[in-house]
Amino acid sequence: NAGVTQTPKFQVLKTGQSMTLQCAQDMNHEYMSWYRQDPGMGLRLIHYSVGAGITDQGEVPNGYNVSRSTTEDFPLRLLSAAPSQTSVYFCASSYSRGALNTEAFFGQGTRLTVV
């Protein structure tokens, strides 16, 4: 099993450009999430999904869009990149077990620089 796969690993964008960060998992997990990691801060939740067709905002959603058309894929779209979106982005997935936590699986991260 590949687990959680993120592409690309590295990306440089110019201010105002748009792009999509890809995330795919092959574990049939219902839950998928996007986090960003910035120096001196803990990971922060951008958007999450509890199943195909269902998404919701996290702590820092502004400037990002998501959709979940299949269980496997959860792309993150940057609409108009800004230098403040320079960060390392992690996708995570986990099983649904009602209100119980299950182990979270993370991708290798995408390092994005906006110039």
Residue with tokens 């105002």, as numbered in its chain: 16
Segment lying near another protein (by CB under 8 A), choices 18-26, 64-72, 76-84, 98-106: 98-106
* d(C-alpha 96, C-alpha 75), whole Å: 20
Q: Is 2 one of the binding residues for another protein (CB under 8 A)?
A: no
Using CB under 8 A, count the residues that bind another protein.
Answer: 32
Shortest spacing between CB 102 and another protein, in angstroms: 5
CA distances from 93 to 14, 68, 102, 110 (A): 29, 13, 10, 16
Q: Is 69 one of the binding residues for another protein (CB under 8 A)?
A: no
Q: b or e along 85-114 (b: 16 or more beta carbons within 10 Å of the residue's beta carbon)?
A: bbbebbbbbbeeeeeeeeeebbbebbebeb
Q: Is 102 one of the binding residues for another protein (CB under 8 A)?
A: yes
Contact mark string toward another protein, 42..61, x via CB under 8 A? xxxx--xxx-------x---
Binding site residues, another protein, CB under 8 A: 31-33, 35, 40-45, 48-50, 58, 90, 92, 94-109
